């Protein structure tokens, strides 16, 4: 699949089960154990959100759950850190627009 | 509420080592970690670590994490709670964390906070654009998940993280266009810089990034030269076509939880920013709370592990009266040794501001180089900077490498004792040791270099010998390839003796070769190959490659081909047969001939 490293001089990537999830209603393939942000990057998707005030596109920055740059709407819940959330079969992921609603 | 003897927040190198130490002293300990498995940032480090052989030197980061994890699993006093995000610390040592969408509270007699650090921001125009990452994020995607976020990279900052990232990106098969550094010298270790320079990555000193280019995602960058006041020099801006920008301008400690636990923090830039105040044994201003690792000062995984151990030994003393005095003193000595080199000046002055003085046990020594033994297969050590590492000395089975008491001293080789086994080449984390043997009678030298890239060459293969700056020097022939389990292989190749001190990397010849004959799409390389196989007649070259036989009839390329032939054979073009010119000299439709013509 696009963006995935197949051969590496030091590492071996043991990928788990192949699954499917949805990004903006589009079907995307991923492997179990990957984070949402990682799986989206593998599919060539880097824009994860648009900012509340200026509407600027924003993506992943720290990838370790600290910077809040990658917040997305996952299964209807806004402000979820896509870099810390593991992707699941059938998961519905959307770019977050604005700050997200409280319930 | 669950009452633990000790709770550790963060399962990176400091937290893991702290847990093992506490467990070994019979303290019931729980590690809370936000990730699916522990290991912290070690899991994405594919390079071998510097340091003391007794402290995992020469071992790759992710392997250190595996080893520590195995010890933790074995230790029945340690419990690990993964996917546990600590959100706050409350009075009475109460730690609150979220797991599986539920809030949990635990209390502990003592807390070790080892929350590490995060990447510093660098604001420039469009620095918030997707495609601008912290260096660590690129490492996470690439080395943890095997996912490459781009194809052409620009790296900002030449500290060890930036240098290591460049090397790792090339290992993974993508292009690094440049490393940009604001200062006038490289920030990280020289050996790390040399590793990427000889792969052809330019390190642009006194440069900065002005802006990222792109609407939805990075498509390029503008960089510029800066003066000694870090101001952009007008007219020096230039665009680079890159799709990813990685920022590695340093880390800053994550102090929020420590602050909530009542630990006093102070701004000490030498240590990375705001840091909790603590004593030599890692106790903060809250006597029940200890810290270790990058939270206490931005350093290496090795020092983080030692700090974790020191904190845990002191905690065990508090909790069950373990007699750990001697162990603590031993660890403090080791830590002081690690910090005694010239590269630790900043850390030492930062700690001094906190009242912690590092007594330097022995001064590092620039060991004087011994006279070389020409004509014998031996190691060549190119490690002239005082960094805390003795993996070469420790690895040598014949005692041929000497560093001495202070591991910051530079290594020297006793070439008489060296047997040419290559063990040190394989062990050196800086890839700064090479093998050499002069073959005087044939004016060649056999050079062995550490090789951690794919594909691996084979015996007899022709490669390019590259200089320390990554430029082509000469052709080399691979003599043998030795594979090692730790993946630092050694490639031996023969090259002209004149280049023995110049060539430091072997690369596969670039596949790109200019097209000479446009009509028949024949490259320079193809023509040269035919000539090299012994064909020196222009007509023969035509028939074998189809040069000059396309629609243009050779108007474009005939002279170029003759030039190549002349260069290869030494025969001037005027003396070469240049073939026969046949009609039609311009493209003509077949129907014209079918119709037949009239003769006037």
User: Environment class of residue B365 by beta-carbon count within 10 Å: exposed (0-12), middle (13-18) or buried (19+)?
Assistant: middle
Treating both helix axes as pointing N-terminal to C-terminal, what angle do B325-338 and B301-320 enclose, rounded to 10 degrees? 160
Give the mean pLDDT of B163-184.
97
pLDDT of B169 over the 70 cut:
yes
At residue B458 the predicted structure's pLDDT band, cuts being 50, 70 and 90, is very high
Q: What is the pLDDT of residue A2?
A: 60
At residue B475 the predicted structure's pLDDT band, cuts being 50, 70 and 90, is confident
Q: What is the pLDDT of residue A57?
A: 95
Q: How far is B102 from chain A (nearest CA, A)?
A: 15
At residue B441 the predicted structure's pLDDT band, cuts being 50, 70 and 90, is confident
pLDDT of B160 over the 80 cut:
yes
Q: What is the pLDDT of residue B516?
A: 86
Q: What is the pLDDT of residue B584?
A: 85
Task: Give pTM, 2 decimals.
Answer: 0.87
Higher pLDDT, B577 or B141: B141
Q: Is the dihedral of CA B161, B162, B167, B168 positive or negative?
A: positive
Beta-carbon separation of A11 and B119 below 8 A: no
Nearest one of B556, B514, B557 to B541, comparing CA atoms: B557
Q: Which residue of A has its CA nearest to B146?
A: A5
pLDDT (tens digit, 9 = 90+) per residue, B242-255? 999 999 999 999 99
pLDDT of B190 over the 60 cut:
yes
Element (H, E) at B138: helix B135-139
pLDDT of B371 over the 80 cut:
no
Contact B155, B180 (CB under 8 A): yes
User: Environment class of residue B305 by beta-carbon count within 10 Å: exposed (0-12), middle (13-18) or buried (19+)?
Assistant: buried
Give the mean pLDDT of B289-312.
97
pLDDT of B591 over the 90 cut:
no
Q: Which residue of A has its CA nearest to B40?
A: A64
> Cα–Cα distance between B297 and B52 in angstroms, integer?
20
> Cα–Cα distance between B361 and B119 in angstroms, integer?
33
pLDDT of B372 over the 80 cut:
no
> Cα–Cα distance between B59 and B139 in angstroms, integer?
18
Beta-carbon separation of B217 and A35 below 8 A: no
Q: Nearest by CB to A66, which of B35, B142, B254? A: B254
Q: What is the 8-class DSSP label of residue B373?
A: -
Q: What is the pLDDT of residue A103?
A: 60
**B41: contact with A, CB 8 A cutoff:** yes
Beta bridge pairs of residue A71: A81
| Cα pseudo-dihedral B419, B420, B425, B426, rounded to 10 | -80
> Percentage of chain A surpassing pLDDT 70?
97
φ, ψ dihedrals at B304, nearest 5°: -60, -45
Beta-carbon separation of B118 and A3 below 8 A: no
Q: What share of chain B is helix, strand, coil (3-state, %, to 5)?
A: 30, 25, 45
Query: Which residues of A are less than 8 Å from B46 in CB distance?
Result: 10-11
**B37: contact with A, CB 8 A cutoff:** no
User: Environment class of residue B82 by beta-carbon count within 10 Å: exposed (0-12), middle (13-18) or buried (19+)?
Assistant: middle
Q: Which residue of B has its CA nearest to A58?
A: B130
Beta-carbon separation of A8 and B171 below 8 A: yes
The DSSP-derived string for B54-121 is GGTTTSBHHHHHHHHHHHHHH-TTEEEE-S-EEEEEETTTEEEEEETTEEEEEEEEEEEE---EEEPP
Q: What is the pLDDT of residue A18?
A: 97
pLDDT of A1 over the 60 cut:
no
Beta-carbon separation of A61 and B254 below 8 A: no
Q: Nearest by CB to B454, which of A7, A35, A84? A: A7
Beta-carbon separation of B134 and A63 below 8 A: yes
pLDDT of B109 over the 70 cut:
yes
User: What Rg do the C-alpha atoms of chain B give, in angstroms?
Assistant: 30
Beta-carbon separation of A11 and B132 below 8 A: no
Q: Is the dihedral of CA B198, B44, B260, B335 positive or negative?
A: negative
Two tokens, residue B524? 């320079």
Give the mean pLDDT of B60-83.
97
**B149: contact with A, CB 8 A cutoff:** yes
Give the mean pLDDT of B402-428.
94
Beta-carbon separation of B137 and A60 below 8 A: yes
> Cα–Cα distance between B130 and A69 in angstroms, integer?
10
Q: What is the pLDDT of residue B572?
A: 84
pLDDT (tens digit, 9 = 90+) per residue, A25-34? 999 999 999 9
């Amino acid at each position: 699949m696009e963006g995935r490293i197949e051969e590496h001089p030091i590492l071996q990537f043991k990928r788990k089960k192949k699954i499917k999830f949805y990004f903006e209603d589009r079907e995307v393939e991923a492997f179990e154990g990957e984070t949402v942000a990682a799986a989206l990057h593998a599919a060539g998707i880097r824009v994860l959100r648009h900012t509340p005030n200026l509407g600027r596109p924003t993506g992943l920055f720290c990838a370790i759950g600290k910077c809040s740059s990658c917040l997305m709407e996952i299964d209807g819940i806004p402000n979820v850190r896509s870099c810390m959330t593991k992707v699941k079969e059938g998961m519905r992921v959307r770019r977050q627009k604005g700050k997200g609603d409280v319930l | 509420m669950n009452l633990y003897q000790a709770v550790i927040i963060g399962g990176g190198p400091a937290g893991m080592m702290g847990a093992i130490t506490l467990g070994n002293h019979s303290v019931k300990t729980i590690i809370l970690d936000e990730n699916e498995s522990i290991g912290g940032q070690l899991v994405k480090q594919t390079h071998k670590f510097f340091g003391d052989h007794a402290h995992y030197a020469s071992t790759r980061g992710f392997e250190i994490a595996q080893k520590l994890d195995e010890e933790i699993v074995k230790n029945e006093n340690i419990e690990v709670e993964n996917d546990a995000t600590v959100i706050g610390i409350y009075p009475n040592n109460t730690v609150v964390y979220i797991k599986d969408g539920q809030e949990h509270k635990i209390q502990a007699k003592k807390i070790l906070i080892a929350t590490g650090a995060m990447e510093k921001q660098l604001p420039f125009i469009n620095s918030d654009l997707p495609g601008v990452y912290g260096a660590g994020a690129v490492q996470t995607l690439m080395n943890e998940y095997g996912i490459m976020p781009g194809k052409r990279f620009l790296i900002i900052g030449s500290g060890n993280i930036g240098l290591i990232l460049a090397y790792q990106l090339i290992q993974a098969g993508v292009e690094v266009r440049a490393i940009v550094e604001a200062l006038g010298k490289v920030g990280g270790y020289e050996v790390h810089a040399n590793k990427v320079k000889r792969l052809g990555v330019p390190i642009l000193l006194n440069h900065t990034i002005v802006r990222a280019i792109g609407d939805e995602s990075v498509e390029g960058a503008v960089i510029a030269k800066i003066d000694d006041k870090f101001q952009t020099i007008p007219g020096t801006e230039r665009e680079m076509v890159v799709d990813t920008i990685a920022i590695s301008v340093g880390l800053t400690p994550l102090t929020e939880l420590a602050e909530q636990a009542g630990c006093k923090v102070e701004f000490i830039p030498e240590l990375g920013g705001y840091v909790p105040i603590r004593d030599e044994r890692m106790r903060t201003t809250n006597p029940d709370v200890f810290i270790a690792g990058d939270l206490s000062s931005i350093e290496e995984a090795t020092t983080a592990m030692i700090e974790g151990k020191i904190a845990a030994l002191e905690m065990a003393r508090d909790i069950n009266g373990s007699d750990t005095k001697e162990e603590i003193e031993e660890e403090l000595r080791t830590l002081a040794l690690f910090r005694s080199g010239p590269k630790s000046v900043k850390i030492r002055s930062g700690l001094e501001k906190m009242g912690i003085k590092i007594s330097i046990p022995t001064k590092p020594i620039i060991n004087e180089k011994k006279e070389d033994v020409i004509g014998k297969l031996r190691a060549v050590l190119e490690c002239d900077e005082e960094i805390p590492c003795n993996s070469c000395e420790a690895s040598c089975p014949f005692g041929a490498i000497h560093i001495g008491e202070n591991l910051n001293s530079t290594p020297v080789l006793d070439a008489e004792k060296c047997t040419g086994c290559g063990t040190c080449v394989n062990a050196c984390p800086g890839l700064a040791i090479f093998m050499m043997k002069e073959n005087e009678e044939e004016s060649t030298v056999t050079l062995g270099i550490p090789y951690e890239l794919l594909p691996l060459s084979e015996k007899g293969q022709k490669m390019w010998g590259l200089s320390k700056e990554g430029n082509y020097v000469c052709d080399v022939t691979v003599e043998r390839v030795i594979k090692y389990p730790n993946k630092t292989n050694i490639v031996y190749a023969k090259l002209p003796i004149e280049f023995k001190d110049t060539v430091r990397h072997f690369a596969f010849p670039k596949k790109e070769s200019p097209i000479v004959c446009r009509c028949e799409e024949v490259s320079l390389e193809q023509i040269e190959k035919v000539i090299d196989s012994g064909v020196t007649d222009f007509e023969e070259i035509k028939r074998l490659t189809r040069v000059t036989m396309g629609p243009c009839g050779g108007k474009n390329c005939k002279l170029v081909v003759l030039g190549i032939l002349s260069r290869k054979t030494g025969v001037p073009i005027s003396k070469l047969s240049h073939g026969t010119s046949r009609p039609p000299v311009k493209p003509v439709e077949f129907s014209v001939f079918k119709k037949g013509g009239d003769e006037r």
